[in-house]
Amino acid sequence: MPLGNELLQYLLTGLTLGGIYALIALGFVTIYTVTGHINFTQGEFVMLGALTSISMIKLGLPMWLAITVAVAIVGIFGAAFERVVIYPARNSSVVTIIIITIGFSVAIRGVALLLWGTQSYPMQPFSSGPPINILGAIMNRQSIWVLLLSIVVVITLFIFFERTVMGKALKACAINRLAASLMGISPQKMSLFCFSLCASIGALAGIFITPITTATYDMGLMLGLKGFVAAVLGGLTNTTGAILGGFLLGILEAMGAGLISSGYKDAISFLILLLVLLNRPEGLLGKPERDRV
Amino acid sequence: MLYVNNLHTWHSWNHALKGITFHVPPGSIVAIVGANGAGKSTLLGTLAGVYRFSQGEITLDGEISKNMPPEKVVRQGICLVPEGRQIFESLTVEDNIILGAYHRWGKNHNSVREEVQKVLEIFPALAPRLKDHAGGLSGGMQQMLAIGRGLMAKPKVMLLDEPSLGLAPLLVKEIFSTILDLKKNGTTILLVEQNARAAMEVADWVYVMDHGNIVLEGNPTELKKDLRVQQAYLGRGYIQEAIAD
């Protein structure tokens, strides 16, 4: 394959991966900006979405109904997680909340291992047919679904945050929690909604990528960490940055895996995280924090 | 009518309010003046639900309020316009105003749109800036926006915390003239001010706070004649003016 086609192939692969990372990063950023918490359970929402939808399909539900039910279940799980685990510890330090979410994600993975075992679960692609040839590079149809999902989610979130009062109330909460509560906006309810929303987005990401990667009980760990890297890369408080970070990470990872070695795929992500943290801790689009003297 | 009876608030080990009792009649402006650290902002914060009170009673129109978070207090009819404006800087002016009515948005959002127009009639300077980011407004306009946002909550009592803070004298005059207009429109106002002189110009009744207690009260005309008030809060210039009069 000529180098040009090869690079295009890596770019398309990177965009697919990037779409998933962007969705997970959006979960990190939305929760962080509204509640101030870094939620390392985000990756487990991805796994729960994928495995729950597979179980629903096995129960005999049509695919789209199974997906809807799985997203709803994970959304409710996200809300319950916020109420039972995060809410009682809401006044704790950032580090405490991080430790709690890491601990809970390990617990969720353990329960998933008991429920679904260690095997990989495949899922039918959403549309059948041969892969599509784009200027000599091959893109399978499920990758297009993944890209479509990320575009739809980003547009929906944009409309939600920019055009609805509820979205603006969430933004107000992120800007100034005290002032928001003085206007009748409940930061607790916003936090609950936020966790539920981000769990649902994570579940969708997991479901859409499963026909490409298959689903396992531990798939959430690495996807969650990559989503976190993408969020940090973009600036952690910036949704545009999260999307940009997700796609950039996906493309760099795919390029590195193709041009150097696929064995270095994960190492590349974490190398990027280290470089960002050392050189530009505020991320690509974040604003540097200044301490007052 | 807002009644506050024997209100106590603690900040950790600091007894910030030591049994405050006062009332705010409907349609009036009641001012609370005092030095830094007297407990004025703590009092407003306690009434608005930002701080919990350990003892005492807050009664609004006959209903006793218990310790509640701010988002519930505003539903009861008490709205705090906090010190330092605390507007949502990266949202537009229009969004800031609309969010003032957030707690009743679901019930009647068409009337909320009409009320935005009423706020713009009170603060016409905000009208051409509706689509601008609130953070780009001058200090005076931000204060107008903060008061306008508070009005959108349709409060029974509006709590204004240091509305003149950081504003140029001309703007202070404008803000206080608006406060008088609000009173004429029937809004009940509890005003906390370090600028005691300006507060006494608009208030119907004044309480003086010191170290978490109300130490003096009266109508502004009487209080202006009180030597202790003149020395402590109205400044040397005022005393000289009073002597000259």
Give me the mean pLDDT over the B167-192 stretch.
Answer: 90
Give me the DSSP letters along chain B.
-EEEEEEEEEETTEEEEEEEEEEE-TT-EEEEEE-TTSSHHHHHHHHHTSS-EEEEEEEETTEEE-S--HHHHHHHTEEEE-TT----TTSBHHHHHHHTTGGGTTT-HHHHHHHHHHHHHH-GGGGGGTTSBGGGS-HHHHHHHHHHHHHHT--SEEEEE-TTTT--HHHHHHHHHHHHHHHHTT-EEEEEES-HHHHHHH-SEEEEEETTEEEEEE-HHHHHH-HHHIIIIIHHHHHHHHHH-
Distance CA B115, CA B121 (A): 10
**Which pLDDT does position B242 carry in this prediction?**
47
Residue A110, class by beta-carbon neighbours within 10 Å (0-12 exposed, 13-18 middle, 19+ buried)? exposed
Residue B36 has pLDDT above 50, yes or no: yes
Distance CA B234, CA A282 (A): 48
- Of the residues B88, B94, B131, B161, the best mutation for testing chain A's interface (the one with the most A CB atoms within 10 Å of its CB) is B88
Taking an 8 Å cut-off on Cβ atoms, the answer to whether B70 and A175 are in contact is no
ipTM for the assembly: 0.89
Write down all domains in chain A, each with its CATH number in brackets.
19-127+138-279 (1.10.3470)
The model carries a pTM of 0.86
CA angle A16, A29, A200 (to 5 degrees): 65
Q: Coil, strand, or helix at residue A215?
A: strand
Could you tell me the pLDDT band of residue B243, with boundaries at 50, 70 and 90? very low
Q: How many CB pairs under 8 A join A and B?
A: 69
pLDDT 10s per residue in chain A (293 long)? 677 788 899 999 999 999 999 999 999 999 998 888 999 999 999 999 999 999 999 999 999 999 999 999 999 999 999 999 999 998 889 899 999 999 999 999 999 999 999 999 999 999 988 888 888 888 889 999 999 999 999 999 999 998 999 999 999 998 899 999 999 999 999 999 999 999 999 999 999 999 999 999 999 999 999 999 999 988 888 888 899 999 999 999 999 888 888 888 888 888 888 888 888 888 777 776 655 44
CB-nearest partner of A184 from B75, B87, B90: B75
Write down all domains in chain B, each with its CATH number in brackets.
2-77+155-244 (3.40.50.300), 84-154 (no CATH)
Q: What are the chain B neighbours of A180 within 8 Å (beta carbons)?
A: 88, 99
* Smallest Cα distance from B107 to chain A, Å: 13
Distance CA A169, CA A179 (A): 11
